[in-house]
Amino acid sequence: MDHQRLALANFNFSQKYARYDAPKKRRETWDESIDRVMNMHRQHLNTIGGSQLVTGLSAELDQITQAYKNRLLLGSQRSLQFGGSAILKKHPRSYNCTSCYVDNERRFAQSLYLLLCGAGVGYSVQDHHIAQLPPVRDKDTLLHLPYDHYVIADTIEGWADALDALVDAYMGNRASLPDFDFSQIRPKGSSISSSGGKAPGAYPLRIMLQQAEQLLSERAGGRLKPSDASDLMCIAADCVLAGGMRRAALLCMFSVNTDDQEMLAYKSRDQWWNTHPYRARANISAVVLRNDPQAEEHFQKIFEHTRQYGEPATIWVDSTEIAYNPCVEIAMCPTLITDPQGKTVDISLDLLDPTKRADWIQQGYRFETAFQFCNLCEINVGAWHSLNQEEASQVVKLATILGCIQASYTGTEDDYLKQTVTQAILERESLLGVSLTGLATGPAWARDRDTLESMAKVAKETARNYWRKCGLKSMPARVCTVKPSGNAAVNLACSSGVHFEHSRRFIRRVQAPKSSPIVQAYKNVNEIAVEESVWSQHRTDDCIAFAIEAPKNALFREDHSALEFLDWVKLVQEAWVTEGVLRPESVEGLNHNVSNTCTVRDNEWDSVAQKLLEGRAAYGGVSCLSASGDYDYPQPPFQAIYTPEEIDADDPHREKKLEAYHYWQDLRSHSLPIDFGHVIEDQDNTTLSQQIACGGGACELSLVF
């Protein structure tokens, strides 16, 4: 393993995921965190199935623990953050991905609850979903409503309830307007005993409620538009803070309507970053039916915005009722359908068609919507250089068993979603998200179609054999996926998901607070690697650099066109993800997805558009971004490094590239390893929600438009 990649992995884990050990006055080590997570799983299995469940999985649990410690696999990142009593008390804390339709006024508060739990939320504001929301009361009615004193409880449920009370008052379900009292909210910086980290104080909650009320009052006497419903979700997400940073991830899915251009331009006009800055919380995607006669027309209209602004993306679906998580690798259907006898049924496209809903209801079918969740685990293909195929298949087996265990955290009986059918939806499909990462870093044989198909079969067979042993209520419907793998790949010291290595040699930079004891410890030993961040508005952050050298037989971004990348994505989709569907009848035609971002050069946009249109049967969603130079702005997160011989004499960036090359060499030669387990901290300085769930490790630079 590359020594600088391992240094980055250790730094990232200690800074973002390690829990504080008060008796030892330090953060836990990697091995200690894995023991904490696996002990939680043993305790949970004992709770849901008794000691015989734990005993029956004893050997597998030990093997998973060792593979986890060796960075051959990785469980849910939320488990690293919150593993222990916080997850055992609130199962939603363990989940990366959730989705819903905004078809009920309670979805706003329920989504805020999940965001505060640490999950990402994908939500649909398609026309037929928001049409089910009640209208906003008229101005005269609102003017004559009395106010009642409303004390906000200092819990995540309390914050969600406050938003719910406000929405209820404006949408006619409450006889008074809430006069909010924030006196019970802990001061900023107070310790949070349940999940670790520091309290953000009342300010973000106060701002959120003010902005939400302003939006609702502006719609008095009318109905929320798709942009309004999305804005309300984003406003709610904007109050989720950790370490002083906004830490929530959303995906907004909307209808393509020839009469309504507002959602197409949601993040591409009117300087939205100034007028509606909370929209930055959401990635936006247009939902297009694969068999829509106007599919090509819709796609071309969407893609023109994508080309200019990077958003919206296009999500290809077979039904408008399919929803995705913010990173678009987990396909969900947050709907429970029961037949006239009250039996939960598998979902056909005919049953799911909203235009036929009234006919099915007349026949005695019942349709209930809520949330669906999925947990993720990761297989480090980059580590397969030291394994043969039989050993690699054993890692796939262990990761799938871990996925089954994670999927058993379905308890919502005592939490904020107890009045919904969320638990029934979770237990109907028992979704897994067994992901491959480091595909570009790994050996060539790992990328072969036959290898990927055989590994998918191992994952399916394992899920088929182990779901009951892991306490699941149903056989998993879909097993295999590929997540974007931002921080997970960093922790595993490999390339991200399906993406190519940035370059043969590159500098990887991360931003972190100067006040962090982890940053200070690294700087004390590796001063050359740390400089003040140019992107920190208040000069509170440092920029830490790591000099990475990728394996010689890896796949590199600079060697491949956008079309070649899309062909690679398609291969992985077919051989790993689609092959990994275990119960295709559960939701007709539904697969998970390969989450990916395609870097498009100026001369490639037209051919990429044609490829995506013609290949829509294979692609669920593809994010496209214009290629930008690593030397166009300071302190880029990834910076390709070239030897003097590789740099043209007339290259306008020649001097910068030579300087970067020598810096890369110095980092490789002089950086020293740090044992962060020896960094003493007299108090808990961790902010365990620093990395958002379902954010894909996206760039966090505060670029000025």
Is 70 exceeded by the pLDDT of residue 11? Answer: yes
In this structure, are 306 and 341 located in the same domain? no
Q: Where are the beta strands (DSSP E) in 421-468?
A: 434-437
- pLDDT (0 to 100) of residue 459: 99
Number of structural domains the chain divides into? 3
Confidence of residue 700 (pLDDT cuts 50, 70, 90): very low
In this structure, are 237 and 345 located in the same domain? no
- Given CA atoms 56, 59, 64, 66 in this order, what sign does their dihedral have? positive
In this structure, are 259 and 359 located in the same domain? no
In this structure, are 140 and 191 located in the same domain? yes
Question: pLDDT tens, 127-154?
Answer: 999 999 999 999 999 999 999 999 999 9
Q: What is the mean pLDDT of residues 655-682?
A: 97
Is 70 exceeded by the pLDDT of residue 704? Answer: no
In this structure, are 206 and 247 located in the same domain? yes
**Range with lowest mean pLDDT among 187-191, 559-563, 583-587:** 187-191
Helix (H) or strand (E) holding 453: helix 449-466
Cα 111 from chain centroid (whole Å)? 14
459 within 8 A of 411, measured Cβ to Cβ: no
Q: What counts of helices (H) and strands (E) characterise the chain?
A: 24, 26
694 domain-assigned = no
263 domain-assigned = yes
Q: What is the mean pLDDT of residues 453-465?
A: 99
Question: pLDDT tens, 39-60?
Answer: 999 999 999 999 999 999 999 9
In this structure, are 340 and 317 located in the same domain? no
- pLDDT (0 to 100) of residue 666: 98
In this structure, are 339 and 268 located in the same domain? no
In this structure, are 197 and 315 located in the same domain? yes
Helix (H) or strand (E) holding 128: helix 127-130
- Higher-confidence residue: 243 or 694? 694
- pLDDT (0 to 100) of residue 413: 67
CATH number of the domain to which 645 belongs: 3.90.1390
Phi-psi sector, 278: left (phi>0), alpha (psi -120 to 50), beta:
alpha
Question: pLDDT tens, 267-301?
Answer: 987 778 889 999 999 999 999 999 999 999 999 99
370 within 8 A of 417, measured Cβ to Cβ: yes
576 domain-assigned = no
- Higher-confidence residue: 200 or 530? 530
- pLDDT (0 to 100) of residue 629: 84
Confidence of residue 194 (pLDDT cuts 50, 70, 90): low
Q: What is the mean pLDDT of residues 608-615?
A: 95
In this structure, are 320 and 342 located in the same domain? no
Half-sphere exposure of 373 (CA within 13 A, CB side): 32
276 domain-assigned = yes
DSSP for residue 678 = G
- pLDDT (0 to 100) of residue 537: 80
642 domain-assigned = yes
- Domain end call among 296, 324, 352: 324
For residues 355 and 375, what is the distance between their CA atoms, to the nearest angstrom?
A: 31
585 domain-assigned = no
453 domain-assigned = no
CA distance readout (Å), 144 to 162, 168, 169, 570: 21, 16, 12, 59
574 domain-assigned = no
In this structure, are 268 and 348 located in the same domain? no
For residues 446 and 385, what is the distance between their CA atoms, to the nearest angstrom?
A: 9
Domain that holds residue 339: 335-369
Residue 214 identity (one-letter amino acid): Q
88 within 8 A of 106, measured Cβ to Cβ: no
Is 80 exceeded by the pLDDT of residue 246? Answer: no
Confidence of residue 462 (pLDDT cuts 50, 70, 90): very high
**Range with lowest mean pLDDT among 24-28, 199-203, 333-337:** 199-203
For residues 376 and 147, what is the distance between their CA atoms, to the nearest angstrom?
A: 45
Confidence of residue 173 (pLDDT cuts 50, 70, 90): confident
Record the pTM.
Answer: 0.95
In this structure, are 268 and 344 located in the same domain? no
Q: What is the mean pLDDT of residues 449-461?
A: 99
In this structure, are 318 and 235 located in the same domain? yes
For 307, other C-beta atoms within 10 Å of its C-beta total 16
Backbone phi, then psi, for 112, in 5-degree steps? -60, -40
Q: What is the mean pLDDT of residues 338-367?
A: 98
Q: Is the peptide bond before 312 cis (omega within 30 degrees of 0)?
A: yes
Dihedral angle of Cα 94, 98, 102, 106, to the nearest 10 degrees: -10
Is 60 exceeded by the pLDDT of residue 698? Answer: no
Is 50 exceeded by the pLDDT of residue 703? Answer: no
